[in-house]
Amino acid sequence: MNSQTPCFVVNLDSDTRRRRSMEATLQRAGVRAEFFSAVDGRLMSEDVLESHVDRIKAEKEYGALAKAEIGTSLSHIYIYREMVKRNLPYAVILEDDVCLDSGFARLLQSGSADALESLFDASVAVMIQLSHVNRAYRRPEKSLGSTAYAAVRPYGAVWLTSGYFITLAAAKQLADGLYPVWAVADYWGRFQQLGLVELWALTPNAVWESSEAQNSNISAERKVRRKSPKTLKSRLQRIGHELIVKPLLVRRLPKIST
């Protein structure tokens, strides 16, 4: 059996329907995966929940956090810890409500020039977003073997934990830097600002949310994020980006969703 990048699927033990659907998706794609029991913050007692949260830092950095959001963040932190415990150089993390591109399995073939592993050493703290990112810088760009995929540096906000590739170095830094929980699991832009991880994105995207994702377990409880106040400096920077950076240095990325 060919060696494959470890693949974790985050799934609530109680959601057996999603698990069965995702198992079928993985089988069609030819991908082996390990289902990881998600933390359901909604079922935790207040005392236990609060023992995992830094509310003061959360209020400063992000804003109010719902129970479900805290549970999701803990789920990803626990996967990072598992990577460190097992000394896994790389891993792909998926949610249980995604679709996979037909070329997805090639991205996980260890030792292949087509594999995501070939792009970065495990000692470099990198996350590659596998779901769609709207825009990216034109350079740098890392072609991925003989595939049509390439890794690029995203421009603008990067959200979602639907599907991403992560190195061991990034897992170590995120496991330490995100606990106790002070933000949602997909606050990637801020994580990069703090030096916890370097963000890249795969184009075209190899993962996208299925129709099942519209019935998210946390969307109903998601809180409104605190926005940073606009300053004269931030306004001038935005004007500069609109007039110079975006037209000359940035491109829109194609979106694969079928």
Asked if 58 contacts 207 with a C-beta cutoff of 8 angstroms, the reply is no
- Give dist(CA 116, CA 172) in Å, integer: 19
Structural domain contains residue 1: no
Any alpha helices (H) in the chain, and if so which ranges? Answer: 16-29, 46-51, 55-61, 67-86, 168-177, 188-193, 232-240, 246-249
Please indicate, yes or no, if residue 258 is contained in any of the structural domains. no
- Whether residue 111 lies inside any domain: the answer is yes
pLDDT band at 2 (very low <50, low <70, confident <90, very high): confident
Two tokens at 134? 């709207």
Residue 173 pLDDT class (50, 70, 90 cuts): very high
Residue that is written with structure tokens 């190899």 in the block? 206
What does the pLDDT read at residue 236? 72
Structural domain containing residue 94: 7-252
Domain presence at residue 125: yes
Rounded to whole angstroms, how far apart are CA atoms 179 and 15?
A: 26
- The answer as to whether 20 is a domain residue is yes
Task: Report d(CA 67, CA 41) in Å as an integer.
Answer: 5
**CA 157/CA 116 separation, integer angstroms:** 22
Give percent of the chain above pLDDT 70.
93
Q: Residue 211: its pLDDT value, please?
A: 84
**Residue 2 forms part of a structural domain:** no
Q: How much is the average pLDDT of 129-144? A: 97
CATH code of the domain in which 162 resides: 3.90.550
Write out the two tokens for 243. 């007039």
Q: How much is the pLDDT for 87?
A: 98
pLDDT at 220: 53
Residues 49 and 70 sit within 8 Å (Cβ to Cβ): yes
The CA distances from residue 161 to 102, 128, 129, 165, 201, in Å, are 20, 11, 8, 10, 12
How high is the pLDDT of residue 233? 74
- Res. 240: pLDDT tops 80: no
In a domain, 105, yes or no: yes
Q: How confident is the model at residue 12 (pLDDT cuts 50, 70, 90)?
A: very high
What's the pLDDT at 245? 76
Please state whether beta strands 126-129 and 98-100 pair in parallel, antiparallel, or not at all (unpaired).
Answer: unpaired
pLDDT in tens, 67-106: 999 999 999 999 999 999 999 999 999 999 999 999 999 9
Query: Can you state the percent helix, strand and coil of the chain, rounding each to 5?
Result: 40, 20, 40
Digit-coded pLDDT (tens) for 107-131: 999 999 999 999 999 999 999 999 9
Q: Is position 50 within any domain?
A: yes
- What gap in Å lies between CA 73 and CA 181, rounded to an integer? 7
Q: Tell me how crowded residue 172 is: count the other CB atoms within 10 A of its CB.
A: 17
Secondary structure of residue 130 in the 3-state scheme: coil
**Res. 238: pLDDT tops 60:** yes
Per-residue pLDDT tens over the stretch 178-215:
999 999 999 999 999 999 999 999 999 999 999 877 66
Overall number of domains in the chain: 1
Look at residues 144, 158, 135 and name the one whose alpha carbon lies nearest to residue 116: 144
Chain mean pLDDT for the chain: 93
